[in-house]
Structure 1
């Protein structure tokens, strides 16, 4: 049946290109324009990436802000080429390029091309993954990938989950479920129970655990940070003692959060031993594997996650160690029924009760978000075009490279290394000799700033036991040990110059 004034569904699209504002809408009449404009944009980006010879230009906010502020957003440019020219000035020229082998700072990975194909498709179709009538096959693809990931973890047949924006959201939802499960297991009124709820985590765990506790209305001291051993892993005996203390004090531990890949040290908590302590105390276990989830597809290192299959919930970040574009994360749960705590109904969206016989798979019933991108498509195309073993071998490469970097730094008398990572981070610092040791913290801070200002490399900084350290995070298989050695020498050069000038003449070395 056709609608008066419109072509029948199978009719050929009308000839000609729409004019005015409608010319910018992606429709059957502008499909060719869409292809042409995106091709021009892809050409610009690919050319920029091909000629990028350093990860950063060293631009400062003060230098770039006037260029951005001068753009008149009320006066559109004439054509896509002009907009792309302007984009070069306000963004592309000075962007931080994670694909460069001397970007060694944060948990930002270069991305695989199949995922970029997925990104182009999902943004054009623009499915929303909250309800079936907005996504259709997208819902099934996401659910299939959740099942696949749960199987890789070993969570069992009742497992379920949902894609999220990142590890912070995944951890928040995991602790929301833990809070609600704790409330459901007791007859104590919620207002009386909430002040007594506790979360036990590693002192080396992610700050999002504390943030989640605050958002969930828990007390300021609700998160108990346990000491770690020399390798920056949670101590199972300290966990057992803390669980016993909480019980004796009338406190309810709603969850223990173990970490499979700490941000600074890449350390993996002893998951099996922690699971034993949780099982003995009847406490829910969440594993934050945002970083270490790449081990799920590692051909050689899957055993490092032994015990993760015993978790009640698991955070994974595909946009860290599966080489996916941001954002691509998920929360997995052993018992899919726990996701009911995130379910709210709206008459216009997912009414309850449902009409008789209707069993639509609405993902909004599992998610903290309503409108949600089809980020699962990126991982789907990656697995279909590359396969999990290929992704895992890339992750293995960066772990191997980090081990080589650790050995290089451990054998260099100019530096001190903290611990040998199970993953792909190396935490270290430059060590001035003699009386100049007092300048160590400032020297390492200076070296990091000077290196970024030069644009030659980008490294991260962190604190260890109150002292200033530097950090390599290797997630690029293209990074070689020669790249690492070159950056190490640059750090020593910058830090050494700072120490020399401060120690001999009392003259600070300003950056920029």
Structure 2
């Protein structure tokens, strides 16, 4: 008898039916599972069919009281009641990326096969850390890493990689490997070695590179921002000069982090030139292609990523330009041996003496328990294929290029830089009104706020050299030029309304 358990209690436990807890998914609760899954899918499908705008315009203060009123000590007792409650708490005011008037952030509508695969991922609840928790799932992920390496142009047999939660984690892990490789070549204590290391990225690089420097013990100042050219690509001459200055000061280049698709301008840094500079400096070249990775399967624009095959590591975000649900990202390295610096062993999980015979993924991951997110991409590729995804990404690029001309014919608007992927950054002309920079920036913010509040459209904003600007991020291949024209017309109309109010002294 188990120690400390009274006889009656132990016997009661042993005599209970195997379906003592019907809320748990197992072989005997499949009817309940099917019923409730269908119920939830029908509920969300019914709601999606009624969506007519990307946002309700609700604010946090609008939504907070209903959420705060929920009492977890009083469950509703049935799934249908919980789903009805979610209408008010979530679905009614959710942000709908699939709506053609959503043009704000790097969020994409998702392909249906991937959504269907999510049900498999969640239902089986596979953990990807060790083979004895994942079996075929591990082999599927490894096959997709091989596929991704081939798309990049790596030798797929020499390369390796791991799926991650997103580009931020992929970039962090790339910088961790680069740090370890660079530090291993230096003498002195570990803190002394870290203090010398520098990461070079463009001033438009994703913030996760600078955060990685901080998280890796280098300090945020170790991420050196390099100025960009007129297309917002890293200026190689400026980088060369900075490398020379830092070398003279005794600093050591840990990595050059290039971007293939910056968040604002979709800029792609000169990858081949950066490889040459990395070789001359004896340093790691990382390419953050979280946004631009869709070009890998593009039928028309693959050449824009020329040189990516020269990188030491590449970040891919399938939940951006491969139209996958969040999260679906990967880090791929050209040489599998580079994972050696982060391998770790635990006797209760992945013993060192069994490493040679194992296919455990935890050895090269920053996560332990990890979802089988690779399955979404696998089902998508096996259902509709990479070519279909590439055509979708080509479509949003074409849409952005057409939208460029739509901005040009509107006197109120001006484009800041040529379109390079599927984003457009533009301003509203107020230079003749004598506005200060702050007043002009406030004006831009107010346009965006009013469009959001009305639910008419969702657009983004960014700041370049102190100037607040509007931004359209296009990742929906079902969005049409007419949809974009309506958004631009709404921007011009709202802008004119604000100007008229200010002229007449209306209270804003």
Give TM-score, length-normalised by structure 2. Answer: 0.94
Q: CA offsets per residue over residues 345-398 of structure 1, 9 Å max, x none?
A: 11100011228xx61100000100000000000000000001111000000000
Aligned residue for 2:268? 268
Q: After TM superposition, where is structure 1 displaced by more than 6 Å over at least 4 residues in a row?
A: none
1:155 aligns to 2:147 (yes or no)? no
**Counterpart Cα distance in 2 of 1:164 and 1:186:** 30
Aligned residue for 1:73? 72
Residues 456, 17 of structure 1: CA spacing in aligned structure 2 closer, same or farther, 3 A cutoff?
Answer: farther
Aligned residue for 1:4? none
Residues 209, 74 of structure 1: CA spacing in aligned structure 2 closer, same or farther, 3 A cutoff?
Answer: same
Q: CA offsets per residue over residues 13-36 of structure 1, 9 Å max, x none?
A: xxx9945xx111001111011011
Aligned residue for 2:211? 211
Aligned residue for 2:303? 303
Aligned residue for 1:368? 366
Q: CA offsets per residue over residues 390-443 of structure 1, 9 Å max, x none?
A: 000000000111111112112321012111122100011211252254442221
**Counterpart Cα distance in 1 of 2:454 and 2:341:** 50
SS in 1 for 2:354: coil
**Counterpart Cα distance in 1 of 2:58 and 2:175:** 39
1:192 offset after TM fit, Å?
1.4
**Counterpart Cα distance in 2 of 1:177 and 1:281:** 17
1:327 offset after TM fit, Å?
0.3
Query: How is 1:54-453 mapped onto 2 (pairs within 5 angstroms)?
Result: 54-156=53-155, 157-354=157-354, 359-432=357-430, 434-438=432-436, 439-453=439-453
Q: Structure 1: which 5+ runs fail to align?
A: 1-15
**Counterpart Cα distance in 1 of 2:358 and 2:475:** 39
Q: Structure 2: which 5+ runs fail to align?
A: 1-16
**Counterpart Cα distance in 2 of 1:473 and 1:321:** 12
Taking only aligned residues, the RMSD between alpha carbons, in angstroms, comes to 1.4
**Counterpart Cα distance in 2 of 1:344 and 1:421:** 44
| 1:432–1:496 CA contact under 8 A, matched in 2 | no
| 1:287–1:308 CA contact under 8 A, matched in 2 | yes
Residues 199, 469 of structure 1: CA spacing in aligned structure 2 closer, same or farther, 3 A cutoff?
Answer: same
1:189 offset after TM fit, Å?
2.9
Greater alpha carbon shift after TM alignment, 270-279 vs 184-193: 184-193
| 2:182–2:283 CA contact under 8 A, matched in 1 | no
**Counterpart Cα distance in 1 of 2:268 and 2:279:** 19
1:508 offset after TM fit, Å?
4.2
| 2:206–2:262 CA contact under 8 A, matched in 1 | yes
1:46 offset after TM fit, Å?
0.9
Q: CA offsets per residue over residues 469-507 of structure 1, 9 Å max, x none?
A: 1110000011111111111111112222222222342x4
Q: CA offsets per residue over residues 285-331 of structure 1, 9 Å max, x none?
A: 00000000000100111100000000000000000000000000000
| 1:128–1:373 CA contact under 8 A, matched in 2 | yes
| 2:285–2:313 CA contact under 8 A, matched in 1 | yes
1:217 offset after TM fit, Å?
0.5
Aligned residue for 1:28? 27
**Counterpart Cα distance in 2 of 1:105 and 1:220:** 28
Aligned residue for 1:3? none
**Counterpart Cα distance in 2 of 1:28 and 1:220:** 51
Aligned residue for 1:41? 40
**Counterpart Cα distance in 1 of 2:341 and 2:118:** 30
| 1:443–1:496 CA contact under 8 A, matched in 2 | no
**Counterpart Cα distance in 2 of 1:100 and 1:220:** 38
SS in 2 for 1:24: coil
SS in 2 for 1:394: helix
| 1:416–1:428 CA contact under 8 A, matched in 2 | yes
**Counterpart Cα distance in 2 of 1:132 and 1:297:** 30
**Counterpart Cα distance in 2 of 1:219 and 1:167:** 20
| 2:187–2:193 CA contact under 8 A, matched in 1 | no
SS in 1 for 2:230: coil
**Counterpart Cα distance in 2 of 1:181 and 1:433:** 51
Give TM-score, length-normalised by structure 1. Answer: 0.93
